[in-house]
Structure 1
Amino acid sequence: MIKRILLLIVLISSTSNILGQDRLITKANEKYAEYSFSPAIDIYKKVLDKGYVSPDLLKKLGNSYYFNADYPEASKIYKRLVDDYGDEVSAEDYFRYAQTLRTLGQYDESKAVMSKFTEMTSDDGRASAYKSERDYMAEIAKNSGRYDIGPFEYNSIYSEFAPSFYKKGILFSSDRDTGNLARYRHTWNSKDFLDLYKVNSDSASLNLVTKLDKNLNTRLHESTSASTKDGNITYFTRNNMKDGKYVKDENGVIRLKIFRAVAENGVWVSIEDLPFNSDTYSIAHPALSPDERTLYFASDMPGTYGQSDIFKVAINQDGTFGTPENLGGNINTEARETFPFVSADEILYFASDGHPGLGGLDVFATKIKNRTYNGTIFNVGEPVNSKMDDFTFILDESTKKGYFASNREGGMGEDDIYSLLETKPLEFDCIQRISGTVRDKISSEPLVGATIKVIDENNDEILTAITDANGNYNLQLDCNQGNFVRALMQGYVPSEEYLGKSTGEPMAIDFYLERDTVTAGFGDDLAKLLQLSTIYFDLNKYNIRPDAEIEIQKVIAAMEKYPSLKIQVNSHTDSRGRDSYNLWLSQKRAESTVEYMVSKGIDKERLLGQGYGETRLVNGCDNNTRCTKEQHQLNRRSEFIILE
């Protein structure tokens, strides 16, 4: 099997049920649990040849082939499992079976199996993706043809993959083991261990391949690297080891870690594993952001969505690291997401077998916007993607040249690197989030139920939204085009904002709508028309409270806007106290309100004040009724009645 599969982070979820006393089954299950798939396959096959079969054996044999990327053999075993033990088949078995069928080009059969998978799962993101992308093959076809690809000059009969830019050349991983007669082999697939190699370049052409020195390469795996632009720092993947010896977890698995190597004058002087590595899960496949302040990687650490997820971690100015963060459920699925790469234009490329693809691992791309990862995810299509595994994609945005690896047919080795030239960039959806509040221009009160319309430059209405109980709205625009955002409310003059093409930064747009003056007339309560809070007074007081000042200011603003507007201030009291006292108190409240407005510039000739005492109670709290303080408060109020 392909060498780089060794470095895919896999979380095997099947259980190890030891059946009977069969020594071979026990031994095979032990190898399977250690991810030693190659010897496990040999033993399981011997058992099958002896006529012993069980659903557990078929599952583990199928998975062993699957994780060794022997998809034809895996497909045969999964088919036997489904045909003979239908009641024992899990959703994950159906998913892997569908994946193997796609690698064989049997897309109709794969769809039928995926339908069974979606029937068995309700909250699995992969099921949702396939339900919503029934025509995903047409979408992939639309994205295809954007790259010209060719062979990599330095492929061999062994595995080459994981290219990364290094100074003016590249680094890559291979099991060719140049110059070493004593080959180390790994029991996952009985192939040689991986080392890092360098291809130098000058202004004319690529030169010979050289193996990195022994400070970086050990007798275990080194792979998937990412270097700073000056080449002085390189992050790379290595098996877990300490003092030159490998370290196993409690299940006998040698996990993966990311190491940082620092060079001085071309010599690697410091190599250290990163502080968030672990002996109990894997951290692998580093990639750097364009500003080299963020490290992306793949891991099966606790909290992953699936078998492996893509994470990021901040690189601080002093070289320390922040806390790793999962990129979230838009990127990561319940399957494998791995091998990230971020281009200079902040496009995240990664390999996945969880998003709809052509088979095996496919390369996907999404635009990073404002440090978020919620944009549309594109399958980059053929010829980069194929029926087999395609992964470790990198691209130089300045030259549009890059590389990727694949185990497709026609290669020299088990994995091969291919060169590529981007001839047509992907057209990413530009999603811009717009939010805001719609308010009355005079009172500044939020308008509930106002309509927000988005109209394109062809004057076509493309979406609408309604303001909530607080007058707020939220919507998303296509920022690849210009849009008009329009706010409408019955009784108000519409308002509109134009937004041109943008890079998608979120925007806040508040609308302040003017009232249609025809809707207000003689005898109307201006406070209600302006949706003001009621003007209340304290018990036995007629001074203007601070909260009342805010509301009266809105009435003043309306009178300033409409110079012909005249109002009468009607003030009231509760029923407590003598009637004559309450009538006097209410008149003082009306006069106090008028005086306040005059002090703010309103002509006294436009104002009248009238006190009504307790004659116009709003809730029946008269002298014969027992009421709470809160109920009495409702009657101590002022109104603003339109006279003209």
Structure 2
Amino acid sequence: MKTISRYICIAFVGMFALSTYAQNGKIQSVKDDYRDFAYVKTSEVLLEVANKGYKSVDLFQKLANSYYFNNDMENAAKWYGELMAMNEVIDPEYYFRYALALKGIENYEDSDKWMKKFHELKPDDLRGKAFLSSVDYRSNIEEASRDDIEPHNLEINTELSDFGTTEYENGIVFASARGGGRKYRWNEEPYLDLYSAEKTENGFGEVTEIGGKVNTKYHESSAVFSPNGKYMFFTRNNFFRLKYKEDDTGINRLQLYRATLSEDGTWDEIHKVHFNSEDYSVAHPALNLTGSRLYFASDMPGTFGQSDIFVVDVNDDGTLGEPENLGSSINTEGQESFPFINTNGDLFYSSTGFPGLGGLDVFKSEGLDQKVSTSKNRSFPIENVGKPVNSAFDDFGYYENLVTKRVYFSSNREGGKGSDDIYTFEVPECEQLVAGTVQDKNTDELIPNATVILFDGEGNELERKTVGADAAFEFQLECEKEYLIRGEKETYASDEKRFTTPKKKQELQLQLLLEKDVQEINPCDDLAKILDIPIIYFDFDKFNIRYDAEIELQKVLAVLNKYPTMKIDIRSHTDCRATMAYNERLSENRAQSTRKYLIDNGIAADRLTAKGYGESQLVNDCGCEPTNESNCTEEEHQLNRRSEFIITSINGKSCDD
């Protein structure tokens, strides 16, 4: 699918002036057309040569590039593959383009392989670093994607290029090649002009050209309007006051212009911005909420790659300050273009340099506009906005209205009416439902009449409910917020779950598992199990009370003090190492040591019995007989070095009753 927006991006650099050494006269004959961006004719000639069986690095490079820059990723991948099969030393940039072409046909596995090779050859390239730092990028994109949104192809799209939308008054302004007239030979479509369409109840009304002196016989695109409506910044070829200028290589660069709204509602008084140049391109302006900063794309000196995103202050009179590059967290050696700043100060822009789904993907840097004035190191986190905005094709020209929840973006994806189309959707209200039950942690039984409390991320109580016989609860929540839900019930220890809701509608199911805090005590019960006491550990070959054991014995001490009629039998065990007789003595000493600790802390001696069982009651298969050797680990042996606390009697009842 041919795309004029691809030209608007790649016009930043003379990437087509590649080294040319023809394999035969026919290849040489199209050299000038190739450098003049006449891809439609060039690809046909190169394809004819390749189909006759001729092979060369130069042939495959040019043929693959022809398809790549025309966004025919299937054929681009085919001919880049032929290039790679020659096993010649080539510019690593071709590895990157091959990876991007494979991604364009959704062959992500092979794309990742070639991105790794690209990174190996250019380890300092930001695009390879970005890929390597998020190898699992596809799952991150999937998490950010919305499967509850279906973009609508605008009815005003044509079979030609339509892209780059911005809202203005009661309608939209966009670029289109629908005007007829002389054709731009790179894609055989008419040159772009700026158009407007008024919103109606059923969509949009008649499409008309922007009034005034904005449109010319060359390209105009990417308009943005100042908050007071007095100024419009837009992109145009280097054509001003009837003069068409090219750089030293014969390329006509893109430039930024400012128009002023006249009393009759047309746009006049066209002025160049002061940092335009014949030697580099400046394009695709975007203004922040207050109109105090303008963002744009350029390949001016100081650019990391083929085009970068820059920012410049806007003065009260509409003039501009000095541009600054947004830095390597936003820009790469690839293409960064089509910036947009929403009313929250979030930057949206398209890039080929970061991991994505296809060619140009739309990325977001939250709150960047506020950070620009305070951040000195120019470090801004970004994220891929995911589907449905992004696809395996070129996706760009993102615009959103946070009040109406209306989003516009441009794409050359399959199923469109033309080469580039404008798509739109309304972000659905994001409702989150969290539901669940309150249950006993150990038995899974429902716990009726429990209280469930909803808190925000900072711990402020938002709502509470008492569950019924079904122990069920549910709350309606907002998207992309942190919450905490806690379950409570007398005689139970509370349970809580903290979570952050996603950006798309979902129903989250939770189980709040409460554990008995007040438990019934009966003769023959083991206090260690009732109190959830881990094993009372002793060091190997010793019977002194360790500090961690002392903490657990304090729990036993507390219960004995609470129930003065309770008597317990302390049972100590060892692992199998050493002889049985030795282990019996060791365990006996440990049992008596435990008993002595409790007596020393105020428990009457007649309430405590103690006995050592040696290795006679192992809890696992770590036996050593008859060789006194075992293949068990130290951790497995330690499980056998333990103490138990069996209730022999309480409140007049004993184990023998």
Question: What range describes the TM-score normalised by the shorter chain of this pair?
Answer: 0.5 to 0.7
In 2: Cα distance, 1:362 partner to 1:217 partner: 29
1:401-460 alpha-carbon deviations (Å, 9 max, x no partner)? 1200111111111111111222478xxxxxxxxxxxxxxxxxxxxxxxxxxxxxx989xx
Contact kept in structure 1, 2:16 and 2:35, CA below 8 Å? no
Partner Cα separation in structure 2 for residue 396 and residue 420 of structure 1: 11
The question of 1:422 aligning with 2:430 is answered no
- Equivalent residue of 2:88, what SS? helix
Question: How far off is 1:198 after superposition?
Answer: 0.2
Q: Does the 8 Å contact 2:210/2:266 carry over to 1? A: no
1:267 and 2:266 are equivalent in the alignment: yes
SS in 2 for 1:59: helix
Q: Which amino acid aligns with 1:117?
A: F
Matched, 1:399 2:404: yes
The Cα shift of 1:104 comes to 0.6
TM-score of the superposition, structure 1-length normalised? 0.63
Alignment partners' CA distance in 1, 2:22 and 2:3: 34
Q: Which residue is equivalent to 1:107? A: 108
Separation (CA, whole Å) in 2 of partners of 1:305 and 1:424: 39
Q: Quick check: 2:197–2:206 contact (8 Å CA) kept in 1?
A: yes
Of 413, 416, 419 in structure 2, the residue corresponding to residue 408 of structure 1 is 413
Separation of aligned partners in 1, 2:397 and 2:194: 14
Q: For 2:254 and 2:349, locate their aligned partners in 1 and report how far apart those are by CA, in whole Å.
A: 18
Structure 1 residues 169 and 136 mapped into 2: Cα distance closer, same or farther (>3 Å)?
A: same
Q: Supply the AA of the counterpart residue of 2:166.
A: S
Residue aligning to 2:167? 165
Indicate whether 1:277 and 2:276 are aligned: yes
- SS of residue paired to 1:140: helix
For 1:602, the equivalent position in structure 2 comes to: none
The reply to whether residue 291 of structure 1 matches residue 290 of structure 2 is yes
Per-residue CA shift, 1:475-525, capped at 9, x if unaligned? xxxxx989xxxxxxxxxxxxxxxxxxxxxxxxxxxxxxxxxxxxxxxxxxx
Output one character per residue of 1:119-172: Cα deviation in whole Å (capped at 9) or x when no partner: 212111111111111110000000000755222121122221101121221101
* Alignment of 1:236 onto 2:204: no
- Residues 1:184 and 2:182 aligned together: yes
Please give the residue correspondences for 1:55-134 in structure 2 after superposition, counting only pairs within 5 Å. Answer: 55-84=57-86, 86-134=87-135
Match of 2:197?
Answer: 199
* Counterpart contact for 1:287–1:341, Cα < 8 Å: yes
Contact 2:227/2:289 (8 A) holds in 1: no
Give the Cα–Cα distance (whole angstroms) in 1 for the partners of residues 419 and 16 of structure 2.
Answer: 28
Paired residue secondary structure (2:208): strand
Q: TM-score, normalised by structure 2?
A: 0.62
Deviation at 1:56, TM superposition (A): 1.8
- TM-superposed deviation, 1:69: 1.0
**CA 1:115–1:386 in structure 2 vs 1: closer, same or farther (change >3 Å)?**
same
Q: What is the deviation of 1:184?
A: 1.6
Partner of 1:28: 30
- Residue among 377, 380, 388 paired with 1:375: 380
Aligned to 1:223: 221
DSSP 3-state at the match of 1:25: helix
Query: Structure 1 CA distance, aligned partners of 2:409 and 2:302?
Result: 29
Aligned equivalent of 1:461: none
Paired residues of 2:6 and 2:69 also in contact (CA < 8 A): yes
In structure 2, what is the equivalent of residue 155 of structure 1? 157
What is the Cα deviation at residue 249 of structure 1?
Answer: 1.5
**Mapped contact 2:214–2:268 kept (Cα < 8 A):** no
The separation in 2 between residues aligned to 1:330 and 1:301, in whole angstroms, is: 18
Name 2:246's counterpart in structure 1. 248
- The one-letter amino acid paired with 2:392 is K
SS of the residue 1:8 aligns to = helix
Partner SS, residue 111 of structure 1: helix
Structure 2 Cα separation of the partners of residues 50 and 324 of structure 1: 51
Q: CA deviation at 1:251?
A: 1.3
Q: Cα–Cα, structure 1 residues 20 and 375, in superposed 2: closer, same or farther, change >3 Å?
A: closer
Cα distance in 1 for partners of 2:49, 2:200 equals 56
Find the aligned partners of 2:206 and 2:425 in 1 and give their Cα distance. 20
Shift of 1:191: 2.0
Q: 1:344–1:19: structure 2 CA closer, same or farther, 3 Å change rule?
A: same
Measured in 2, the distance between the counterparts of 1:270 and 1:97 equals: 45
Distance in 1 between the 2:405 and 2:317 partners?
Answer: 33
Provide the C-alpha distance between the structure 2 equivalents of 1:60 and 1:154, rounded to a whole number of angstroms. 35
Residue correspondence of structure 1 range 136-147 to structure 2 within 5 A: 136-145=137-146, 147=149
The corresponding residue for 1:575 is none
CA distance in 1, matches of 2:22, 2:111: 35
CA positional deviation for 1:326: 0.6
Give a deviation string over 1:308-359, Cα, whole Å, max 9, x none.
1111111112332111111100000110110000000001000111111001
In structure 2, runs of 5+ residues without a counterpart are 431-456, 460-480, 484-657
Aligned equivalents of 1:62, 1:172: Cα separation in 2 = 31
Q: Residue 390 of structure 2 is aligned with which of 385, 390, 402? A: 385
Cross-structure match for 1:561: none
Quick one: which amino acid aligns to residue 348 of structure 2? Y
Q: Given that residues 35 and 253 in structure 1 are in contact (C-alpha distance below 8 angstroms), is that contact kept between their aligned partners in structure 2?
A: no
How far apart in 2 are the matches of 1:20 and 1:141? 45
Question: What is the rounded CA distance, in whole Å, between the counterparts of 2:152 and 2:288 in structure 1?
Answer: 27
- Matched-pair contact (CA < 8 Å) for 1:33–1:251: no
SS where residue 88 of structure 1 aligns? coil
Point out where structure 1 has 5 or more consecutive residues left out of the alignment: 426-455, 459-479, 483-644
Confirm or deny: 8 A CA contact 2:13 2:280 kept in the other structure: no
1:349-392 per-residue CA deviation (whole Å, 9 max, x = no partner) reads: 00111111001111110111421452321111111111111110
| 2: CA distance, partners of 1:16 / 1:3 | 21
Code of the residue aligned with 2:231 in structure 1: it is I
Displacement of 1:242 in angstroms is 3.2
Counterpart of 1:333, as a letter, is: T
Q: 1:172 to 1:13 in 2, by over 3 A?
A: closer
Could you tell me which amino acid in structure 1 is paired with residue 192 of structure 2? L
Quote how far apart the aligned CAs of 1:214 are.
Answer: 5.8
